[in-house]
Structure 1
Amino acid sequence: MVKKITSLGLAISFLLLSSCASIVSKSNYPISINSSPSEAKILITNKKGVEVYSGNTPATLELKSGSGFFGKAQYQVKFTKDGYESKTVPVYFKLDGWYFGNILLGGLIGMLIIDPATGAMYKLDTEFLNETLSRSTVNIEKDGFKVYSINEIPTEWNKHLVTIE
């Protein structure tokens, strides 16, 4: 009889002290980042501007879903490569549907403390970034701008040329 009461007590404690999103979801999510052309440098910063990752494409890493109590994470991924325009792409997190499972399973502790503190109430909105970088129209060298003659211009730039009279 005592064993049944202890088991029942443990089960009730588990339900009261657990949180649904923390059980079903996670606080860190993998993201794959690629670019065309490959080997672009990527710099990832959080919403406070703090660098959280630096490397080259292709890359796979994990990002935290929370940024403080009830705070949803948000990141900026900046792509750079010599000869190409830099590009910055946001990475968003959204409310995880399992968070509302706390109403049935996790209780108030899960809904108001555990999931908001761990970030498990949010999930990654985009799991894969694949960005195409555009060729730079200006060649910036150490000494400044480079002036091209008409014969030096790459053929893919010809469609952007405008006649000046």
Structure 2
Amino acid sequence: MSNKSIISILSIIIFIGLSGCASIAEKDIQELEITTTPESCSITVTDKNGENIYQGKTPFRQTLSKAEGYFTGQIYNIHIEKGGCRPADLVVKSKNNLWYVFGNTANAFIPGWIGVDAKTHAMYELSSSKIHVRLVCSDEDGFPGVVKKEVLEK
């Protein structure tokens, strides 16, 4: 086997090994979209440290960081409310993405496991990227203290 063939084969192996790295395929941020029924509900989004990320009205669409630090995923607490409706509380967490888990495992790419992907925060993805919340309002069945409409009509 010639030196040129050996160099070509090694180059291909290195390229395949690096291709499993989540840092190549993913970013350290992800867009989160939250819509509600009814529309224009008050929404507050805080991170795991309790810092206010957003406070306003729905619909909410913002790009958020997927990690807080080295090997530390982010957690977002979301509170949605509107007068006359039950409030809703949600939690969106970071989890390891498939590029990080399977890409680095298949290629035995140790630097990707413990260094590159953890440092660039590309190892994570948010548990949800699009969420629709339907609040239960006081004029609907199932709201505390509301008698079913059919009973009132009889």
Question: Structure 2-normalised TM-score?
Answer: 0.73
> Does the Cα contact within 8 Å between 2:46 and 2:54 map onto a contact in 1?
yes
Equivalent residue for 1:20? 21
Equivalent residue for 1:159? 147
Equivalent residue for 2:116? 114
Task: Choose from 129, 132, 135 the match for 1:133.
Answer: 135
Identity value in percent:
31
Distance 1:20 1:106 in 2: 10
Give the unaligned 5+ runs of structure 1.
137-153, 161-165
Q: Could you tell me how far 1:123 is from its partner in structure 2?
A: 1.0
Distance 1:114 1:26 in 2: 12
> Does the Cα contact within 8 Å between 1:29 and 1:65 map onto a contact in 2?
yes
Q: Which AA in structure 2 matches 1:159?
A: V
Equivalent residue for 1:79? 80
Q: Which AA in structure 2 matches 1:96?
A: N
> Does the Cα contact within 8 Å between 2:76 and 2:93 map onto a contact in 1?
yes
Structure number with larger C-alpha Rg = 1
Cα RMSD of the aligned pairs, angstroms, is 3.2
Give the unaligned 5+ runs of structure 2.
1-6, 149-154
Distance 2:92 2:106 in 1: 31
Equivalent residue for 2:36? 35
Equivalent residue for 2:89? 88
Q: Could you tell me how far 1:127 is from its partner in structure 2?
A: 1.4
Residues 41-67 of structure 1: per-residue CA shift (max 9 Å, x gap): 111111111111222111211121111
Distance 2:146 2:118 in 1: 54
